[in-house]
Chain A
Amino acid sequence: MNWNWLTPQVIAVLIACVEALVILIATVLVAAMMIWAERRLLGLWQDRYGPNRVGIFGLMQTPADMIKIFFKEDWIPPFVDKPAFLIAPLVAMTMMMLGFAIIPITPSWGVADLNIGVLFFFALAGLAVYAVMLGGWSSNSKYALLGGLRSAAQMLSYEVFMGVALMGVVIQTGSFQLRDIVEYQQQHLWFIVPQFFGFCMFSLAAIATTHRHPFDLPEAEQELAAGYHTEYSGMKFGMFFVAEYVGIVLVSALLVTLFFGGWDGPLMDRVPALSFLWFAIKTMFFMMLFILLRAALPRPRYDQVMAAGWKFCLPLSLVNMLVTGAIVLAHQSLSAGG
């Protein structure tokens, strides 16, 4: 047999593919297990049990739900706009999963080190809105439409300052690449300290991107029944549902990467394997915070969310960016002059 085609380049490609595949599968699994974790944690905080019957600690609840949802009739209501109705959940799921391409998980592990990493995430977040908008519009249902409208308005307001909020980090690092950002934090301070306002603004915007409570206005149960996915059932609903959890994992990973030093942590120099552990622990902490938010807060009204976005978050993000820029410039001219 001729093994000539197995050049080092091909091997590198294969390894990269396997690595990417592992990340993809791990992401979906983590997202699925998060459904279980959320229900158990909510149960713990709310004086009740949560799912505890299927498997040990109810761990098999999510697989059982998956099996159920796979075998459900894949029903498309006769009144919907079929192509858009089918595409919407795909878009939701794909955009969120693609996001993991740019996350550096350990010093040596990650799918792609795009030099426009941060911008790539913004683009994906922007495209993810289409899932909700298309779902809401194509369902041809009034509740879904209202959900879609809310989503569009909300995203418009929150994407504006999401970008601006991150510019402080980018200015300090001098790069859009996430690996550079983590390495910069390893050498200097984690960005949570110098970029505290950026962190606050970005986390707000990030929660809004995932439509998680308290920004779940597009699907506010008490108002719009199920909002944009009212007409979805079976696996198509399942994709929206899992996409939400993938989104939480993604946003938590991003928060860790951008503001909490990514894989950075004590004892890293001696035991390099710890880097993954640090990353995982930090990410899980933020995932839990998402769940806690859901358990703790009421939901603001739609116009209050808009007002907060435009009147409070946007100006604060702009100020943060300007001040960071000024300091960096001053620092550079000082060191150049000195």
Chain B
Amino acid sequence: MPDDSPNPAALPEVPAIALPEVVRELYARFGENTFIRQATKDDVPTLWLPVAQLHEVLRFLKFDVPSPYKLLLDLAAIDERQRKHREGQPPSDFTVFYHLMSIERDQRTKGFGDVRLKVALLGESPSMPTITNVWANANWYERETWDLFGITFEGHPNLRRILLPPTWTGHPGRKDYPARATEFDPFSLDAAKQDEEQDALLFQPEQWGMKRSVPDHDFMFLNLGPNHPSAHGAFRIVLQLDGEEIVDCVPDIGYHHRGAEKMGERQSWHSYIPYTDRIDYLGGVMNNLPYVLSVEKLAGIKVPPRVETIRIMMTEFFRITSHLLFFGTYIQDVGAMTPIFFMFADRQKAYDVIEAVTGFRMHPAWFRIGGVAHDLPAGWDRKVKEFLDWFPKRLDEYIKAAVENGILRGRTIGIAQYNTEEAVEWGITGGGLRATGCDYDLRKARPYSGYENFEFEVPTGKNGDAYDRLWIRIEELRQSCRIIKQCLENMPSGPYKADHPLTTPPPKERTLKDIETLITHFLGVSWGPVMPPGETSQLIEATKGINSYYLTSDGSTMSYRTRIRTPSFPHLQAIPYVIRGAMIPDLIVLLASIDFVMADVDR
């Protein structure tokens, strides 16, 4: 095939033989010259294409290729105007990228099921066509890109700010927008401004294409949130009600937005780790993992097996604490008040172990580039064993006392149901996807950090309803215990840090003996490590779904662009689709069954 020979000028680093399947398919269909292939440090084939052919290519990938790319995993922009290292990439001021995934292909090829497409845009206020007519879940991603980067998507049904308030001026994701409060004039809120802000929060149904009434009756518009006992954080959802039936609804997010991606561009690679803890604030070190794995790919660090196993053990502990909170609040949202107290007691036991190992509880920021902060403490195995002896028995009790309860089943079976196809269309991953019967778990499909060495199962549901989503998490709790048990029994010995100059902070043993190591150590801990230029990403199966960090390094002590793909963001976007026609109590059950935290949505 002629398409198998790549153009050597455009591909300086890519070896000629290893063309990924999807690249071959695209070359065969659209011709090799349509694309410019970019080398990245992850396994994701990355192709630049002209904006004119974007739709054609996306539709081809979504509908026409064998094992089609049904999942739009991520969509965001990069402000390229200040970037120095762009070898082999077409000129661009703003780049919009699309991360697509084919679950079928990913499971078949063991982790080569995704593709990243990039579109170069020129000018200060660029515009391009929307893809909301190809993927429903592109809607919020495009709004976010407009909000933060000022890129207009022509034909978007409702291109308005999503994370920032409507009164905001400027696009903070851009490189020329200041990142620190000290770069602005002092903030003040006078009465006039307060009124203006409050008026801007008033819900106008017309803006969302809703009617206030039909000929024989009016609708009631109910603000659920941003302060509501069941909204799980500062989340507002405006309901259009006919009695207690939800005709339509508009989720409103952004109340918890703090610019985590922007912070990544002003913190050193090392000092950004604590910020990741707070993305999914129930996930603890689970959030560190995709970030440090990503940075390690940039740096070319391979961590020792002990580090991998320690990391798996601690992330699984956090999966347990996060799922337990989900479990308790879920039952509480259905109206039973007692189980959550027991589950807090169990989380306490897990936190005892976490505290003994890391020194902190919810946000340990304990993983490091190239390792973990320190070795496991003496006696850690006893604490872990105590937990493993305690916890599974409690789980059985909860199932008997709460999950098999008739009222709970009546409230959740068949409620807020969707199938695999709908889940993929809306970008739903994690337990929400597996409840529909799709056994896609990144830990199995593309094992990272040594998950391939562990025996565990991927629980799946059948109906994709709220009850199945509960069961998935309960089974996952059991599987997490199983993984932790294997960590306990097979913990490798060896160093807890990689022997690599970019490990931060680097191992100190040799620094007092030779000057080279001393200098590296000094720079690493004062300025922070300098990562070689390049792009990479790491996807992990986080507590709530697929979490990924897509990092761009420009050869500096800080990230040039940090894109955080969180699972909760698309999950919330799907709410109106899932809940239309149901009742308010069903919405509460849906919110409980999604398992989201607003910090994870708004970043």
List chain A positions with a Cβ less than 8 A from chain B: 42, 45-48, 142-143, 146, 149-150, 213-214, 220-225, 294-304
Contact = CB atoms under 8 A, between A and B. Distances in A.
Contact of B588 (A47, A222, A297): A222
Given A45-B338, A298-B335, 16 more contacts: A46-B342, A146-B244, A149-B244, A150-B244, A213-B335, A220-B335, A225-B228, A294-B337, A295-B337, A297-B335, A297-B336, A297-B405, A298-B334, A298-B405, A299-B411, A301-B586
A143 B230 CA distance: 14
Dominant SS at the A interface?
helix
Contact of B585 (A42, A47, A301): A301
Given A142-B220, A297-B336, A304 B342 contact: no
B410 A302 contact: no
Contacts of A224: 584
The 5 closest A-B pairs by CB, nearest first: A299-B335, A298-B336, A46-B341, A298-B335, A298-B334
Interface in B151-190: none
14 contacts: A42-B337, A46-B337, A221-B229, A222-B332, A222-B588, A295-B337, A297-B335, A298-B334, A298-B407, A298-B408, A299-B335, A300-B407, A301-B586, A304-B411
B334 A146 contact: no
Contact of A214 (B243, B331, B407, B588): B407
B222 A142 contact: yes
B405 A300 contact: no
B333 interface: yes
A298 B584 contact: no
B588 A223 contact: yes
B341 A47 contact: yes
B583 interface: yes
A225 B223 CA distance: 12
A217 B410 CA distance: 16
A143 B334 CA distance: 18
Nearest to A142: B222
Contacts of A304: 410-411
A222 B341 contact: no
Interface in B49-64: none
A296 B336 contact: yes
Question: Which of the listed residues B338, B342, B411 has the most CB atoms from chain A within 10 Å of its own CB?
Answer: B338
B65 interface: no
B325 to A, nearest CB: 15
A63 to B, nearest CB: 25
A136 to B, nearest CB: 14
B584 A223 contact: yes
Contact of B229 (A46, A222, A294): A222
A222 B333 contact: yes
Interface in B312-329: none
A222 B335 contact: yes
B345 interface: yes
A152 to B, nearest CB: 12
A337 to B, nearest CB: 47
Interface string B201-232: 00000000000000000001011000011100
Nearest to B336: A298
Contacts of B586: 301
Interface of B: 220, 222-223, 228-230, 243-244, 331-338, 341-342, 345, 402, 405, 407-408, 410-411, 583-586, 588
Contacts of B243: 149
B336 to A, nearest CB: 4
A297 B243 CA distance: 26
A300 B411 contact: yes
Given A222-B333, A223-B588, A301 B338 contact: no
Question: Which of the listed residues B331, B345, B408, B584 has the most CB atoms from chain A within 10 Å of its own CB?
Answer: B584
A301 B407 CA distance: 9
Contacts of B411: 298-301, 304
B334 A303 contact: no
Question: Which of the listed residues A142, A223, A299, A300 has the most CB atoms from chain B within 10 Å of its own CB?
Answer: A223
Contact of A295 (B223, B338, B407, B410): B338
Nearest to A226: B229
Contact of B334 (A45, A296, A299): A299
Contacts of B345: 47
A42 B407 CA distance: 20
A35 to B, nearest CB: 16
A224 B239 CA distance: 13
Contact of A301 (B220, B332, B410): B410
Contact of B244 (A47, A296, A300, A302): A302
Contacts of A214: 335, 407
A224 B345 CA distance: 28
Contacts of B336: 296-299
Contacts of B220: 142
B341 A300 contact: no
A220 B589 CA distance: 13
Contacts of A42: 337-338
Contacts of B331: 298
Contacts of B337: 42, 46, 213, 294-295
Nearest to B344: A47
B585 A46 contact: no
Nearest to A221: B229
Nearest to A145: B220
B342 A297 contact: no
Contacts of B405: 297-298
A274 B363 CA distance: 60
A59 B202 CA distance: 46
A143 B586 CA distance: 16
B229 A302 contact: no
A41 to B, nearest CB: 11
A123 B250 CA distance: 44
